[in-house]
């Protein structure tokens, strides 16, 4: 059986640029796969929002995140790139986190250089650990990868742009690559010119970008990102934000009109919902054991 990490590496090698929507549960991941996307991204922030109704400021534990990885990766056949926050501790905890993500079925983990508790990359007031400590964590992640699944992908993220500036961010990104990261992500560049500087000065051949509606990073097209030199772009919150709006609209209608009929044309019907969930195939499998 081909590992999900190897499949992800093959996708990165065969496509000029890869775009991945963010999943926050198994159903959203399944819909991403059925829409034809080759990769899904698990957003730690959106998992936090949906699971416990809290903001992205470090509420979830490693165990809760590993459970989310297991549920989401188990629902899809495409590779899952999973947010691992700051690894939930020092180098030894990072090793256990990477081991657990591999065992749970992830193809890649994203690790960042924030202190504990961390916060959303676009929030103010972020604090970082030292470059030396961050590099030690990436070395630990690479050790766990090489030991358990050499094809597993390590994505190293730095939030240094907002804290120390672009020079420190580029310096950290290069240090992470030298420590064993397969892909590097500099969080929250604020202009296309800054993004061009990242792709020209960071040595790692695989670079990640982000598309967040209302965020600080320019919302560039695939062509623009590829021309700059990025390999991977994520939409971590798009599905969650749209679904939340749809729920608010329906709930407002139900409260005011005591009916959801106004939205029936926008909703899945019972049959279509079961088709998405492969009910007929599952029932056929169930029946096969009774013959």
Residue spans of alpha helices (H) in 114-221: 131-148, 160-163, 166-179, 192-201
Check pLDDT > 90 for residue 123: no
156: CB partners within 8 A, 6+ apart: 110, 111, 112, 113, 138, 141, 173, 176, 177, 179, 181, 183, 184, 185
pLDDT tens track for 50-63? 999 999 888 899 99
Nearest to 111 by CA among 157, 149, 65: 157
- Taking the CA atoms of residue 154, residue 195, residue 211 and residue 67 in that order, the dihedral angle to the nearest 10 degrees is 20
Q: Return the number of other C-beta atoms located less than 10 Å from residue 75's C-beta.
A: 20
Q: Please name which of 105, 119, 120 lies closest in space to residue 26, comparing C-alpha atoms.
A: 105
Query: How do beta strands 207-210 and 18-23 pair?
Result: unpaired
Contact by Cβ (8 Å): 194, 164:
no
Coil/strand/helix, residue 17: coil
Arithmetic mean of pLDDT, 120-127: 72
pLDDT value for 121: 60
Average pLDDT over residues 88-92: 96
Question: 82, 88, 91, 80: which is closest to 59 by C-alpha?
Answer: 88
Mean pLDDT, residues 183-194: 96
From residue 181, alpha-carbon distances to 137, 147, 169 in Å are 10, 15, 15
- pLDDT reported for residue 57: 87
In the chain, % of residues over pLDDT 70: 98
Average pLDDT over residues 196-225: 95
The span from the CA of 160 to the CA of 243, in Å, is 31
Cα distances (angstroms) measured from residue 32 to each of 23, 36, 192, 283: 8, 7, 28, 23
**How far lies 59's CA from each of 160, 173, 232, in Å?**
22, 26, 27
The third-level CATH classification (topology) of the domain covering 4-243 is TIM Barrel (3.20.20)
Over the stretch 222-259, which tens digit does the pLDDT of each residue have?
999 999 999 999 999 999 999 999 999 999 999 999 99
Query: Is 5 within 8 Å of 152 (Cβ atoms)?
Result: yes
pLDDT above 90 (res 117): no
Residue 49 confidence (pLDDT): 95
Confidence class of residue 122 from pLDDT cuts 50, 70 and 90? low
Q: Is the confidence at residue 169, as pLDDT, over 90? A: yes
Q: How far apart are CA 195 and CA 185, in angstroms?
A: 11
Q: Is 248 exposed, middle or buried (0-12, 13-18, 19+ CB in 10 A)?
A: exposed
Q: What's the confidence (pLDDT) of residue 291? A: 66
| Under 8 Å between Cβ of 190 and 168 | no
Distance spanning both ends of the chain, measured CA to CA: 29
* Residue 116 binned pLDDT confidence (cut-offs 50, 70, 90): confident
Could you state, in order of their start, the residue ranges of all structural domains in the chain? 4-243, 255-288
Residue 143 is predicted with a pLDDT of 98
Q: Residues 170, 141: contact at Cβ < 8 Å?
A: no
Does the pTM of the predicted model rise above 0.85?
yes
Is the model more confident about 123 or about 230? 230
Return the bridge partners of 185, or none: 157, 208
In terms of pLDDT, which residue wins out, 203 or 116? Answer: 203
* Rounded-to-integer distance, Cα 98 and Cα 273, Å: 34
Q: What is the pLDDT of residue 203?
A: 98
Task: Give the pLDDT of residue 56.
Answer: 87
**93-114 pLDDT, tens per residue?**
999 999 999 999 999 999 999 9
**Rounded-to-integer distance, Cα 51 and Cα 57, Å:** 14
Average pLDDT of the chain, as a whole number: 95
């Amino acid at each position: 059986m081909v590992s999900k990490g190897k499949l992800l590496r093959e996708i990165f090698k065969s496509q000029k640029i890869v775009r991945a929507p963010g999943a926050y549960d198994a159903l959203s991941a399944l819909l991403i796969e059925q829409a034809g996307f080759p990769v899904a991204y698990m957003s730690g922030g959106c998992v936090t929002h949906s699971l416990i109704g809290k903001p992205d400021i470090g509420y979830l534990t490693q165990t809760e995140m590993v459970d989310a990885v297991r549920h989401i990766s188990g629902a899809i056949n495409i590779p899952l790139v999973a947010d691992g926050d700051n690894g939930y501790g020092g180098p030894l905890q990072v090793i256990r986190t990477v081991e657990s993500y591999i065992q749970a079925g992830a193809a890649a983990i994203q690790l960042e250089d924030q202190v504990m508790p961390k916060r959303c990359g676009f929030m103010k007031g972020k604090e970082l650990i030292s470059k030396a400590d961050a590099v030690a964590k990436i070395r630990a992640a690479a050790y766990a990868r090489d030991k358990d699944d050499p094809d597993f992908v390590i994505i190293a993220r730095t939030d240094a742009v907002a804290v120390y500036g672009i020079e420190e961010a580029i310096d950290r990104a290069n240090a992470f690559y030298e420590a064993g990261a397969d892909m590097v992500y500099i969080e929250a560049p604020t202009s296309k010119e800054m993004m061009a500087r990242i792709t020209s000065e960071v040595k790692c051949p695989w670079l990640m970008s982000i598309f967040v509606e209302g965020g600080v990073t320019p919302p560039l097209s695939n062509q623009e990102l590829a021309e700059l030199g990025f390999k991977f772009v994520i939409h971590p919150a798009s599905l969650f934000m749209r679904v939340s709006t749809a729920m608010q609209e329906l709930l407002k209608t139900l409260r005011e009109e005591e009916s959801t009929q106004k939205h029936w044309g926008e909703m899945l019907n019972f049959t279509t919902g079961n088709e998405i969930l492969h009910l007929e195939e599952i029932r056929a499998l169930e029946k096969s054991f009774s013959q």
